[in-house]
Amino acid sequence: MKLPISLAALLLAASAHAQTYTVICVKATCGHLKVTATAARMETDYSFRDNGRGPDQKETLAFAPDGTWLSYRTEGVATYGARIDESFERQADGKAVWRSPVDRGEQPAAAREAVYVPVQNTPALTARLAQSLLARGGQRTEALPVGKLSVERVQRLTVRGVDVGLYAIDGLGLEPSYVWLREDNQALFAEVWPGWGGTIAQGFDGELDRLNDAQKSAQLVRLQRLAKEIPQPLPGLTVIENVRWFDAPA
């Protein structure tokens, strides 16, 4: 049975899930993030202003039924006026190609589980990264252009009846990147920038401070754990050669 084009388009639109998020800068609403997602596509519209500066960015991500990232496209203007113009595509032969203002490259026969890490992305893309990694059991996953990523849940809260988890993505930088996801469907709930603000699901604006405190606590626990695990005792006398000693006045 063939459906009229108008009816097919209506059914497709009905299957799309739209969510709006509030961007908060120093306790004041300063912008928005709008996300529209279907089973095969995610589109975002991200904009905020802090002291007159901020990004205007749109993204489109397409993926296969098994979660494979097929293509990514983002355009716009960054916080300080630089142009955002970046793309990624997995071609039919399995080769992955990408282009950004600072890099371009390709990888033949890229792993199907590989994800792409843009130069600049929205909180929705960070959440999608976490979702893809969770679908792979949180195991270290190849990232393009380079690197490997993993994810783990480090905190869990119930916010006005909604169960949310704080997930730490390791491998994006020297420090983990944190994102809050709903526990029922792993959709983005919030991305918090401690001490400054963040992006949170519309209607939950007043909960940002609570998430901020919980995230800072989780980060502190991580640092305390590393402080115990990383240092190595140096028994006996230790001699450091070929150095200059600098003792700054207090």
Q: How many Cα atoms are found within 13 Å in the side-chain-facing hemisphere of 70?
A: 13
Residue 11 belongs to some domain of the structure: no
Residue 52 belongs to some domain of the structure: yes
Residue 16 belongs to some domain of the structure: no
Give the pLDDT confidence score for residue 69 in this predicted structure. Answer: 97
Residues in the chain: 250
Residue 23 belongs to some domain of the structure: no
Give the pLDDT confidence score for residue 151 in this predicted structure. Answer: 97
Least confident of 70-74, 124-128, 135-139: 135-139
Residue range 178-183: average pLDDT?
98
Over residues 189-232, the pLDDT tens digits come to: 999 999 999 999 999 999 999 999 999 999 999 999 999 999 99
For the stretch 5-41, what's the b/e string if a residue is b when 16 or more beta carbons lie within 10 angstroms of its beta carbon? eeeeeeeeeeeeeeeebbbbbeeeebbebbbbbeeee
Q: How many Cα atoms are found within 13 Å in the side-chain-facing hemisphere of 208?
A: 25
Q: pLDDT band for 245, please (50, 70, 90 cuts).
A: confident
> How many domains does one find in the chain?
1
Residues of the domain holding 123? 29-226
Residue 20 belongs to some domain of the structure: no
Q: pLDDT band for 138, please (50, 70, 90 cuts).
A: confident
Of 64, 60, 34, nearest to 47 by C-alpha is 34
- Structure-token match 């006026």, residue found: 81
Q: What percent of the chain has pLDDT over 90?
A: 84
Q: pTM here?
A: 0.87
The first and second tokens of residue 233, run together, are 């005792």
Give the pLDDT confidence score for residue 9 in this predicted structure. Answer: 46
Residue 202 belongs to some domain of the structure: yes
Residue 238 belongs to some domain of the structure: no
Of 173, 172, 154, 170, nearest to 221 by C-alpha is 154
Give the pLDDT confidence score for residue 247 in this predicted structure. Answer: 86
Residue by residue, DSSP assigns 43-84 as: EEEEEE-BTTB--EEEEEEEE-TT--EEEEEEEEE-TTSPEE
Q: How much is the mean pLDDT over the chain?
A: 92
Phi-psi region of 52 (alpha: psi -120 to 50; beta: other; left: phi over 0): left
Q: How far apart are CA 250 and CA 245, in angstroms?
A: 16
